[in-house]
A = this chain, B = another copy of it.
């Protein structure tokens, strides 16, 4: 099955293994005429760079992206855009000792069951490294959204028992600035401080933490998403649950909605200057699978990083009991949710561009004199 592609009209195909020669993405279906510079993509990639601080994996990649096709004289041509990132710092030797062990929480076992073969070097396709390609493709999607005044942002909302809430979003750009300045992508300095202390503690103990990322899109027009099987929340759910280590998603009130009454959950309509809004946004920006024009709000739960320094019981490929102890130089994030933030943001951008394009096909002009526009 061709399972390395995402999106229907704006379609991204990624390739490459964590410890192979390179990784890359092919974006097919990007409309012609979009001004795009290498800088637009590079700056997004830089945000998710490993080694940015001591709380994320110390692997040192420059992650320099190159555009190999689809852009001519600074503008997209409608042809597929091929992006490539060469792998430079791939220390496969550090995995040699454990190549025959089933690593708890890892995909080694399931890949072996499925394919009968496993590229043991650093996780192959199941590695978080694949998500760099999503961020690169997402940068192009964001560029498109920028022309339509649609803004997306994600931030780290929760680690362990430490959590923050966005109260009032006065200005999305200021908020995005705060998020990007934080090594944890957490816009609240007090919360960030507590999170860092917790991370430090668990890191010392060789353990890891889970977390929750919240993501919003503002300026989304009403009408995106399709009824029934292609509801906007269904597409977003698939997008987010395709991110490594994600274990759940909720929209608006989400699981909390299950404990509410209809009279509290229903968002009441009102009208202002000929446009319809809702007084609240418990629904998270969608009704019947279609965007309402209110901000889209979702949260994604990430499990704690599976790679921990603590010794664990396991078996090898032959089923023999073994102890797994990672060498100290194996590089891992103590909390994957941190580096997932830009990936969540990229995935919502990809979803929205796809939905915008799909929505163009829903209406045609059936007037006396219809024309092609």
Contact = CB atoms under 8 A, between A and B. Distances in A.
B119 A77 contact: yes
Contact of A263 (B13, B249, B310): B310
Interface stretch (A44-52, A102-110, A188-196): A102-110
A100 interface: no
Interface in A221-243: 221-223, 226-231, 233-242
A81 B15 CA distance: 7
B28 A26 contact: no
Interface stretch (A124-132, A169-177, A178-186): A124-132
A319 B16 contact: no
Given A1-B230, A265-B105, A253 B257 contact: no
Given A70-B15, A237-B249, A361-B361, A207 B262 contact: yes
A259 interface: yes
Which 10 residue pairs are nearest across A and B when measured between Cβ atoms? Answer: A107-B288, A248-B250, A271-B319, A3-B226, A208-B262, A2-B11, A110-B290, A3-B230, A32-B115, A238-B238
Contacts of A88: none
A310 to B, nearest CB: 5
B4 A15 contact: no
Interface string A118-161: 11000011100010000000000000100110000000001111
Instruction: Indicate the size class of the contact surface on chain A.
Output: 35 or more
A363 B200 CA distance: 44
A9 interface: yes
A266 interface: yes
A164 interface: no
A11 B2 CA distance: 6
Q: Determine which residue in A271, A275, A292 has the highest number of CB atoms from chain B within 10 A of its CB, and name it.
A: A271
A239 B241 CA distance: 12
Interface in A316-373: 319-321, 337, 356-367, 370-373
Contacts of A307: 262
Given A114-B290, A255-B250, A266-B104, A319 B283 contact: no
Nearest to A11: B2
A337 B211 contact: no
Given A80-B13, A271-B319, A284-B247, A290 B147 contact: no
B15 A26 contact: yes
A273 B34 CA distance: 30
A147 B370 contact: yes
Given A13-B26, A210-B257, A260-B210, A3 B228 contact: yes
A68 B253 CA distance: 37
A242 B111 contact: no
B33 A115 contact: yes
